[in-house]
Amino acid sequence: MNATTAEADVIIVGGGLHGCSAAYHLAAKGLKPIVLEKHVVARHASSASAGGVRRLGRHPAEIPLAQASLELWHRLGDMLGADGNFRPSGQVRVAENEAELAACATRVGETRALGYDFEELLDRDALRRTVPAVSPHCVGGIRVARDGYAFPFKATTAFRHKAEELGARILEGAGVTALDRAGERWEVATGRGRLRAPVLVNAAGAWGREIASMLGDTAPVKPTALMMMVSDRMPHFVDPTVGAMGRKLSFKQMQSGTVVIGGGFEGKVDHATELTELDFRQLAESATNAAAIFPIMAKARLVRCWAGIEGVTPDDLPYIGPSKAAPAAFHSFAFCGHGFQLGPIVGSITAELIVNGRTNLPIEPFRVDRFA
Amino acid sequence: MASCDLAVIGAGPAGMAAATLAAEHGLDVVVYDENPAPGGQIYRAIETVSLARNSDLAFLGESYRAGAALARAFRASPARFMPGTTVWLVQKDRAIGILRDGKAAMVQANRIIIATGALERPVPVPGWTLPGVMTVGAAQGLLKSAAMAPSSPVVLAGKGPLLFQLAAQYVAAGVAIAAILETGARPIAALPHVWPAWRSGTIGKGLALLRAIRQGGVNIIRNVVALEAEGRGRLEAVAYRTVRGTGRIATPLLLLHEGVIANAQLTKAIPLAHEWNERQQCWQPMLDADGNSDVEGIAVAGDAGGIGGAEAAAHSGRLVALAALKALGKIGRIAHEALAETERTAWQRHLAARPFLDALYPPPDASAQLADGTLVCRCEEVTAGQIREAVSLGCAGPNQAKSFTRAGMGPCQGRMCGLTVAALIARETGQSMSEVGHYRIRPPIKPLTVGELAALE
Ligand SMILES: Cc1cc2nc3c(=O)[nH]c(=O)nc-3n(C[C@H](O)[C@H](O)[C@H](O)COP(=O)(O)OP(=O)(O)OC[C@H]3O[C@@H](n4cnc5c(N)ncnc54)[C@H](O)[C@@H]3O)c2cc1C
Ligand SMILES: Cc1cc2nc3c(=O)[nH]c(=O)nc-3n(C[C@H](O)[C@H](O)[C@H](O)COP(=O)(O)OP(=O)(O)OC[C@H]3O[C@@H](n4cnc5c(N)ncnc54)[C@H](O)[C@@H]3O)c2cc1C
């Protein structure tokens, strides 16, 4: 690989969920893509992720994609031969007072008006039936039945392995340092030699801005450390993944009994080392939120805290679609803390754009030049 | 947020000596230890033993008595001691997270001395998770703090000074020892290191221990190459193999020990820069001659910086305290140099025994004889075979092994499996331990509940 320049049909920069999903969908269409990953597959957001498969509360622009992605999640096992531990145990968002319940009703109304009926308003009793352990002060909420969660590392490796089986290659330890358009081909310099391909995909996550700027696209991204914590095993007490209207919370009990708590609290990113530092003042607030909605959690022992680096954009929406500055280059990065659910479909959109030159899903809101 | 000049974490010989010296020179010193009293591992419960059960000192041995003087000086010093306090977080900016009486709080220190001591090297053998299998250190802790000794004949297996020390203590206390199964051979490699070890007094102490054990009529079986704890639901017997043959001893209690390693959990969580110690087969923080780490204002003393033993720990504690006094302007450069020189010389003299001990009791190869079925990660129940399988699927390091197998993801945060998992990966992939690296450790490194964190002060 080092001496000569290797050839592929498509070069994918970044071996997270989005890079592996693109590799799978391209390979399934008969192309030979190669994924260039700086470290190892799923080193960053795609293993640190909370793994929520959630349409509930999504930005209207993301809903059509999320709808299509959910159908792929339900078929993941058939498609990939491994289901990434996807469990459709539902998603719930809790209202703690009448004002929040009113906001729930408004939200459900808005999604209905757009033509989607997946969100269901819960009154006090319905909430208690769905989430018996919820704090007595909670008055209702929203539920989405077919949503759920999966194991991020397993889902990412499921795409990776199926892609490889279909002829894709994965090169780890191959950070992309430079890009060149030579005639009809992209030529890419990596830590493990040079590669050439007619088409390039930028799936570099929080580092996608650097690849975009090599292509000539200006796409602002703030690398952000999203923090999580997990408790010791507890007796089973909740099925759906739970969030809250008035607090930053993402809460789920895994089959093993451990409880995973997040909600978008930020730690610090060390750019040079790509490591993160936790902020325990912020985590204290995260713990407060978890215990407020689930009083049973106050006594739960924390086993581990961590953070993953995710790219966040000014409007909290990702960059998806063709480069505006360069030919035959496509973006799929900066998913702002909610790109796990979108992984299966965005890889498919990218493959469609490359193979068919178009997609039926509305990706205009995710244009790379929307801030230029 | 509360603050102090100097926070000392750990009140073993290193922490006590450091805090005493620093406080006597006028620094505002706070000392945290999760134990209810000062003493650390070796001098655990030193005050109660020396006050209430003076006769106990006889079987706990001469070296235990030395700790009483350290503890007295520490108590007499102006250092503020916070017993029963766990430190679950240390940040690079020297903010410290503590937990006391169920209350979590943050404290800002000007400087920090980490003196959290050693851990016993985990000994994964088939059956090591059965009730009835313990470590030598845990058994010794019971002996010191609760005067609890086993009532039926016990088997000790492994090697190292601590194992023989406990055996001698048991002999003195009249506890029956069914056998000592000494793993590995006593290597010739130790010979060149004999003289410095002799000068430090280590060999004399060791020979005295062995004499005491022999006089107690204990059966010592040497050259043990494989061990297995057997039993349904709890330990019933220990099976072993030596170069000459196999054997089986019925016993309800097996005590394992393969030496101690630096307790790097806190130093890794910060994280300080670490290096792989090939001789002692463990990670330890990279320190300068004064014990300073690569992070400004954070130093490490005693066994937490690399195994040196109790006497070395006290000198290292004073050496590190002197550096803090200099840095905070309490003593001048010249005074520092004179005082530091004395401590450093004494420290080096005690450290001189380590190459001998390390060569005499070489750490076992953590990956070599592990059968595929042996549990490696006790929390998540991951076996050696599962780690090997993950490697064959492309897992290249311990942090990836977490994702592949969940090893190291349980409550102990990889304390028990970190070295073994890394050694297995190193062996399977043909890399060195420093290439393979170690788990990224994240705070909280000590138990903390969601409610306690929520009420963080
Ligand atoms: C803590 C946390 C919780 C989350 N929870 C949820 C959730 O519940 N639901 C949800 O939908 N989403 C969630 N997300 C978001 C979701 O996980 C991410 O959007 C998704 O994993 C992003 O995948 P990716 O492939 O774009 O990025 P990544 O997985 O980060 O992959 C990008 C890869 O590119 C590589 N790379 C970077 N630069 C280069 C280069 N120059 N050359 C080669 N390779 C390079 C990186 O090493 C990295 O492996 C969460 C994210 C985090 C961090
Ligand atoms: C189990 C065990 C038993 C040992 N027994 C002997 C023996 O009998 N004889 C002998 O010569 N050597 C013994 N050793 C070796 C011994 O550790 C050293 O010789 C000596 O005690 C080192 O002194 P120190 O001050 O560096 O650390 P230690 O004496 O280990 O003191 C460290 C102190 O730090 C505290 N601590 C650690 N982490 C935290 C935290 N996060 N928060 C709050 N407090 C914390 C501990 O409670 C402990 O009191 C033993 C080691 C171990 C692991």
Listed residues A312, A338, A358: the one ending a domain = A312
Structural domain contains residue A165: yes
* Cβ neighbour number for residue B301 with a 10 Å cutoff: 35
pLDDT in tens, B275-309: 999 988 999 999 999 999 999 999 999 999 999 99
- At residue B186 the predicted structure's pLDDT band, cuts being 50, 70 and 90, is low
CA pair distance A20, A334, nearest whole angstrom: 15
- AA letter at B121: R
According to the model, what pLDDT value does residue B366 have?
67
- AA letter at B130: L
Residues A330 and A277 in one domain: no
Residues A303 and A165 in one domain: no
According to the model, what pLDDT value does residue B50 have?
54
Residues A229 and A361 in one domain: no
CATH code assigned at A260: 3.30.9.10
Residues A57 and A160 in one domain: yes
User: Region B166-191: what's the mean pLDDT?
Assistant: 85
pLDDT in tens, B398-408: 999 999 999 99
Residues A239 and A216 in one domain: no
Residues A357 and A235 in one domain: no
Q: Determine phi and psi for A185, rounding to 5 degrees.
A: -130, 150
pTM of the model: 0.93
Ligand nearest to the CA of B39: 2
**Residue A296 domain boundaries:** 91-145+222-312
Residues A134 and A197 in one domain: no
In which element (H, E) is residue B56 found? helix B56-60
Residues A32 and A22 in one domain: yes
Ligand nearest to the CA of A311: 1
C-alpha of residue B304 to centroid of ligand 2, in Å:
9
Structural domain contains residue A77: no
Rounded to 5, what percent of chain A is helix, strand, coil? 30, 30, 40
According to the model, what pLDDT value does residue B58 have?
54
Cβ contacts (< 8 Å) between A47 and chain B: which residues?
Answer: 403
Listed residues A312, A333, A348: the one ending a domain = A312
CA pair distance A165, A82, nearest whole angstrom: 13
Structural domain contains residue A85: no
Say how many CA atoms lie within 13 Å of A345 toward its Cβ. 24
According to the model, what pLDDT value does residue B60 have?
56
Short-list A157, A206, A196, CA closest to A21: A157
Structural domain contains residue A79: no
Cβ–Cβ gap B444/A302 under 8 Å? yes
According to the model, what pLDDT value does residue A179 have?
96
Structural domain contains residue A75: no
Q: Determine phi and psi for A366, rounding to 5 degrees.
A: -105, 10
pLDDT greater than 50 at residue A2: no
Short-list A308, A153, A285, CA closest to A227: A308
pLDDT in tens, B377-432: 999 999 999 999 999 998 989 999 999 999 999 888 899 999 999 999 999 999 99
The sign one gets for the Cα dihedral A260, A265, A267, A272 is positive
Q: Which residue of B has its CA nearest to A232?
A: B411
Structural domain contains residue A184: yes
Q: Which residue of A has its CA nearest to B95?
A: A280
According to the model, what pLDDT value does residue B345 have?
94
Listed residues A269, A285, A312: the one ending a domain = A312
Which residues have C-beta atoms less than 6 Å from ligand 1? Answer: A 13-19, 36-39, 43-46, 48-52, 54, 175-176, 203-207, 226, 228, 250, 262, 308, 310, 333, 335, 337-341
Is the Cβ–Cβ distance between B370 and B294 less than 8 Å?
no
Residues A308 and A242 in one domain: yes
Residues A306 and A157 in one domain: no
pLDDT in tens, B245-270: 999 999 999 999 999 999 999 999 99
CATH code assigned at A33: 3.50.50.60
Q: Which domains does chain B have, with CATH numbers?
A: 2-119+261-331 (3.50.50.60), 122-258 (3.50.50.60), 366-436 (1.10.10.1100)
- At residue A1 the predicted structure's pLDDT band, cuts being 50, 70 and 90, is very low
Structural domain contains residue A74: no
Residues A166 and A291 in one domain: no
Residues A35 and A179 in one domain: yes
Structural domain contains residue A97: yes
Reduced 3-state DSSP string for A76-107: HHHHHCCCCCCECCCEEEEECCHHHHHHHHHH
CA pair distance A148, A145, nearest whole angstrom: 8
Question: How many independent structural domains does chain A possess?
Answer: 2
Task: Spell out a b/e string for A226-262, using b for 16 or more CB atoms within 10 Å of the CB, else e.
Answer: bbbbbbbbbeeebbbbbbbbebebbbbbbeeebbbbb
